[in-house]
Amino acid sequence: MIQKIIIIDYGMGNIHSISKKLKSKKTKVIITNNSDDIKSANKIILPGVGHFGKAMDHLKQLNLIDSLNEAVLVEKKPILGICLGMQLMTKKSEEGNVVGLGWFDAEVVKFNNKNPYKYKVPHMGWNNVNVNKSSNLMTNISENDEFYFVHSYHVISNNNDVLTTTNYESNFVSAIEKENIFGVQYHPEKSHDAGQSLLTNFIDL
């Protein structure tokens, strides 16, 4: 069966790169900000690049928050948050000092590295991930595989929800998972084979 994958377009995502990766699979990919499309989706991707506060404003202006809550929390549709999209799933962020969607007992803070010359902010480039718990999202992905990161803020989360961590001077949360809700801080659409494996795993959930 061909799956209907919705990529939420709220004006702050790297949506076309994600769409290209997904279209190589047996999926129907729709880029949309229409609530009816969200209701009819099999799975949802919430991308994001930029400012947390502005992103939440855009979601509110487009009247998407209630539709997302219904799809994710009530209907339990699988959703994958990417980069800022993952951060929006938390309770709040220092960036803009605003509340998020609140799906995870977590918050977003800026990197405060002790050696900013060696560990520059934003954190940009390739890093591996350390898997904290078993997950179908990480099938065929090893700790030697690397993913591409671009971010200045990171998530602090309840340990039960931490899927992977990554070391950048110290360990930070690089992926979270709770029931049908998944988030990755890195960009799978830019992460070559490892990223393609992760997106395939999400499709196959």
CA distances from 57 to 79, 80, 143, 184 (A): 20, 20, 36, 22
Q: Which of 58, 83, 95, 177 is labelled catalytic?
A: 83
* Closest to 168 measured CA to CA, from 108, 113, 87: 113
Residues constituting the chain: 205
* Catalytic status, residue 189: yes
Find the catalytic residue in 107, 179, 189, 192: 189
- Choosing from 51, 177, 187, 192, the catalytic residue is 187
For residue 179, indicate whether it is catalytic.
no
Strand ranges for the chain from DSSP E: 3-8, 27-32, 43-46, 79-82, 92-93, 98-99, 106-110, 123-128, 130-131, 146-151, 153-157, 162-168, 170-178, 181-184
Q: Is 169 a catalytic residue?
A: no
Catalytic residues: 83, 187, 189
